[in-house]
Chains A and B, each alone.
Chain A
Amino acid sequence: MLPVYREKDTLLHGLHPLSALALAFSLVAATLILDNPLYTAVLCSGVIAMLAQAEVLGNGKPLLRAAAFMGMMVALINPLVNNAGEHVLIYGPHIPMWGKLNITLEALLYGVAAGARLFTVVAAFCLVALAVNPDDLLELLSRLSFRSSLSAALAVRLYPSMAVEAREMRDTQLARGDPLRGGGRISRAKAHLPLLLSLFQGALDRAASIAESMSARGFGSRGRTRYRRRRLRPRDLIATLVSLGIIGTVVTASLRSGGYSFVPVIANPLTEVDWLAWGALSAALLAFLFICGSWRRWHWWRSRI
């Protein structure tokens, strides 16, 4: 079952959705722009530490596992489709229309780095999904399009109900004598098809009930107002400063040291890195993690921000 948002008493859960989005955006931007593996390592560790601080590591395990799997696939597939690089590890056969299937060290390491960056980006999205109240987030987005954000809210709300219904349907059919499996994948899919249709029918019935209930509560009337409950607090200022710090680092690093290159030979990450930018990035992330941790322990600090 996919993870869902749960209210928790952490600083990350207490952020205004705007500042939480800004923080996630800065982390994603930094991960996508900075390709030196040293930056990726810091960003990846920072995001995982933030997930831990938000107490959503357990809840987000299925998503993170999927991200890790995708990252591994990228790392494995890249050397097969990309043979750039001077250090050939394996000389493969000649494939028509393709050329030589050589596996190079550069392509392999590029794949690993790209996989790690993909994992970091998904983990940052996971942080938004599990530590930002979806209603608050959608309220923010509803200024752009209320109907789309309402559809998204309904999907978030109905997903757990549908998952429970699907599980109950499977259990009931097992008890009825249907093993729901066959020899191969096709027979297994065939066995599940009636359940799937029934589930869709249930979802449609529920959609009709919700539409009726929304009409009964005046949905679609003119002059809709908005109830806002989130206020910007000092903690949001801190999160925004950290986000700006990360963006600043990205800009500085890009301007001062240019891009990192994996081909034709791998550049030395230690010599290519801008240590000042790296240090600033690490310091910003560490400071924010320290604030998250101390917020819970020190009442005085908690009451101030």
Chain B
Amino acid sequence: MALVEIEDLTFHYPGEEKPALREVNLEVGRGEFVLLTGPTGCGKTTLLRLLNGLVPHFHGGRIRGRVAVAGRDVLRNDPRELAAAVGMVFQDAEGQLVSTTVEREIAFGMENAGLPPQVISKRMEEMLMGLGLSRLRRSFIPELSGGEKQKTVLASVMAMHPSILALDEPTSQLDPLSAEDLLTLVRRLHEETGTTVLMSEHRLERCYHYATRVLYLEEGRILFDGPPREAASWCARRDDAFMPPVTRVFARAGWKELPLTVNEGRSILAAPAEGAAHLTGGLAGGVTTHPARAGDRSPAAGDVAGPPSQAGLRLRSLASGLCGRGRNGDGSGGEKEKKGSSERGLIEEGGGGNRCGDGEELFRARGLWYVYPEGPEALKGLDLRLAGSTGMALLGENGAGKSTLLRCLLGLLSPSRGRVTLFGEEPSRERLPGLASRLAYCPQDPNTYFVSSTVREELLRTMRLRGRAGKEAEVVVDTQLESMQLLHLARRNPRDLSTGEREKVLLAAVLLPPLPDLLVMDEPTRGLDHSSKRSLSELLRRYRDSGGTAFVVTHDVEFAASLAERAAIMGNGSIVADGPARAVLGDSLFFSPQVNRLLCGLGPGVLREDEAVELLGAMLDGRE
């Protein structure tokens, strides 16, 4: 008997005419690992909340159809009764923790289930040990990192021994290493305990290959249900982006065989094929291979010598093109030309701002130290200079000091030692508001920017703060909303929008004219799906083309690679690597995008998907 049975289910949220789920039929057996994919708002979250009865019992709404989980009718049993069968982990760890310490949090669900204290104690030790939380047992929850908080929630849920684990984008608020850690843990729980897992996730490259089954949802309907490899082929046929980057580049380049992991991709490239000798000959002759990794990780970059074929020559020219690319070396120039006039708004026009000239110093930190009161040394003699106009990404793990550096650069913290200049002056809290026309800051959480009740009012407030009001300001705001395709959201409360929409509104506000010289962004891709990231990346590219400088603090290597010409890696309070993005990111094991890991040794620091598609296309031509 199936563990989850859904028949002809249609669900409407209260007051909504459009159903969140429509005519859904689904059966999930014991021990399956089901991955839910699809664009934002497609119904993944609603489907997961249906499993433990939060939909409809907690959220209300109209429902039609039948849902049974572990033999229980969900419509007749409320979440309290289903809690022991279905464990649920939500997106935001902060919004689901109840207690003040890890130990009490883990006990919370078990106490609610009425388990005897001896059983609670046993399971407590099991969870603390199994999930690596023993050293945090008595830690104060607000002081834990995002990853540790999410692990605590997972432990609390798993301690109830549910037969189904439902995870709703559990890594969307985490840095890559914490995300990897959590997903590995979920995989281990699935493999070692046989727990049925249903998970929705944006970082497909980290979990697609774990899944035994992939569901693709669109507008509340399940459009595809099958194994991951078939799902990838199905998405490729639809030219859909919901697959891992490595799969996507193979699909876009026209390969029939689609890998799900970097390893599989490299095996496909290494497999002998007609023309392969010529191809590798071409590579050996024309492409500068990665010095550190070409030998040991690149079976395709062989030692086969020989006269270069046509494909080899094309590859060689591609490679030299990649090497010689300047600030717009993202292969998007042609694409950009195709953009319609509706996409070309105030940003391209320069917004009437005073653009800073190339090479003009925007900020500089010299020998910067910062020590928190009763805390660690967050910055240790850091040096960093940014001159316009460019795009720079700053990467580093949690606690590396990125946020402290940002706060020092903006003048929100006074350095313990060393000197900071912003636009040639020492920054401070008092001076910061006066810099609003030259500097735009996008915080990690867009909600901290929003203080008005509608999107339009929010943009008008920005205009007012920049000294422009009245009819003229309204016209500018409406033009901006239209050019960024946000007009339909103008009357909505910005806090009620999806993560991607909020990020877009935030950018629309900060990029109002006069366009700032420097755009500082803190983790702009947190919680965004692939298409939202793509449109964000496109917007930033247009801003940079208009002469602006973007300084992005991010964990998202793929995003950094798509955007920045320069990249720096921060660790232990100082900059450990700084240089052209191709050199810094192309020379890393973990701070490199998946396509770079796939093609290392085959191309000179391939960072962007478009470059990888071009290269793979040429390789496919060579095979044919």
Residues of A within 8 A of B (CB): 4-7, 58-59, 133-135, 139, 150, 153-154, 156-157, 160-161, 165, 168-169, 171-179, 194-195, 197-198, 201-202, 205-206, 209-229
Contacts and interface: CB of A to CB of B under 8 A. Distances in A.
B466 A197 contact: no
B374 A202 contact: no
Given A168-B448, A223-B114, 8 more contacts: A135-B101, A154-B98, A175-B433, A177-B466, A195-B451, A218-B83, A218-B84, A221-B83
A179 B138 contact: no
Given A177-B465, A195-B451, A157 B97 contact: yes
A206 B142 CA distance: 14
Nearest to B410: A175
Given A206-B94, A206-B95, A216 B121 contact: no
B495 A168 contact: no
B124 A227 contact: yes
A138 B435 CA distance: 48
A175 B466 contact: no
Contact of B79 (A173, A205, A216): A216
11 contacts: A5-B140, A7-B139, A58-B374, A133-B138, A134-B100, A172-B449, A179-B430, A215-B79, A216-B88, A221-B83, A225-B117
A135 B99 contact: yes
Contact of B448 (A160, A172, A178, A217): A172
Given A153-B98, A175-B439, A197-B451, A209 B90 contact: yes
Interface stretch (B61-69, B105-113, B541-549, B593-601): B105-113
B114 A224 contact: yes
Contacts of B100: 5, 133-135, 153, 156-157
B495 A174 contact: no
A281 to B, nearest CB: 33
B384 interface: no
A270 B141 CA distance: 50
A6 B140 contact: yes
Contacts of A197: 451
The listed residue with most A CB atoms (<10 A of its CB), out of B88, B110, B433, B443, is B433
Interface residues of B, number: 77
A150 B100 CA distance: 10
A210 B83 contact: no
A32 B107 CA distance: 39
Nearest to B142: A160
A215 B83 CA distance: 8
A23 to B, nearest CB: 21
A82 B94 CA distance: 51
- Interface-central residue, B100, B374, B407, B444, by most chain A CB under 10 Å: B100
B325 interface: no
A150 B107 CA distance: 14
Contact of A176 (B117, B436, B444): B436
Contact of A218 (B58, B104, B112, B510): B112
Interface string B417-429: 0000000000001
Contact of A229 (B57, B103, B143, B374): B103
Contact of B108 (A5, A59, A171, A217): A217
A168 B98 contact: no
A108 to B, nearest CB: 37
Nearest to A6: B140
B116 interface: yes
B80 A218 contact: yes
Interface in B217-231: none
Contact of A209 (B92, B121, B140, B432): B92
A209 B93 CA distance: 10
Contact of B432 (A154, A175, A214, A223): A175
B310 interface: no
**Pairs of residues from A and B, 10 with the lowest C-beta to C-beta distance, nearest first:** A177-B436, A209-B95, A218-B83, A213-B96, A177-B465, A175-B441, A218-B112, A223-B114, A194-B451, A227-B107
Q: Secondary structure at chain A's binding surface: helix, strand, loop or mixed?
A: helix
Contact of B433 (A153, A178, A198, A215): A178
Contact of B443 (A172, A179, A213): A172
B75 interface: no
Interface in B268-289: none
B447 A157 contact: no
A225 B52 contact: no
Contact of A210 (B98, B117, B124): B98
A198 B449 CA distance: 9
B120 interface: yes
Given A174-B429, A217-B83, A153 B447 contact: no
B448 A214 contact: no
B322 to A, nearest CB: 37
A157 B120 contact: no
A128 B212 CA distance: 52
B439 A216 contact: no
Contact of A222 (B86, B114, B447, B495): B114
A215 B443 CA distance: 31
Contact of B160 (A133, A154, A202, A217): A217
Interface in B284-325: none
A225 B120 contact: yes
Nearest to A138: B100
Interface string B114-126: 1111001100100
A226 B111 contact: yes
A90 B57 CA distance: 71
B375 to A, nearest CB: 11
B109 A218 contact: yes
A147 to B, nearest CB: 13
A226 B451 contact: no
Nearest to B94: A161
A7 B97 CA distance: 18
Interface in B554-606: none
Nearest to B159: A217
A4 B434 CA distance: 35
Nearest to A218: B83
Given A5-B140, A221-B112, A225-B111, A177 B451 contact: no
Given A210-B98, A222-B114, A174 B140 contact: no
Given A212-B54, A227-B111, A217 B157 contact: yes
Interface string B474-515: 000000000000000000000100000000000000100000
B140 A227 contact: no
A171 B411 CA distance: 10
Contacts of A209: 90, 92, 95-96
B57 to A, nearest CB: 8
Contacts of B103: 135, 229
A260 B138 CA distance: 46
Contact of B98 (A160, A172, A214): A214
A36 B223 CA distance: 82
B462 interface: yes
B450 interface: yes
Given A135-B104, A205-B495, A169 B448 contact: yes
A84 to B, nearest CB: 45
A169 B450 CA distance: 9
B156 interface: yes
A225 B160 CA distance: 13
Most buried by B among A195, A217, A224: A217
Contact of A175 (B84, B436, B495): B436
B412 interface: yes
A194 B83 CA distance: 39
A246 B107 CA distance: 37
B336 to A, nearest CB: 29
B111 A165 contact: no
A215 B54 contact: yes
A136 to B, nearest CB: 9
Most chain A C-beta atoms within 10 Å of own C-beta, residue among B52, B92, B95, B495: B95
Residue from B124, B435, B445 having most chain A Cβ neighbours under 10 A: B445
B441 A194 contact: no
Contacts of A171: 407, 410, 412, 443, 448
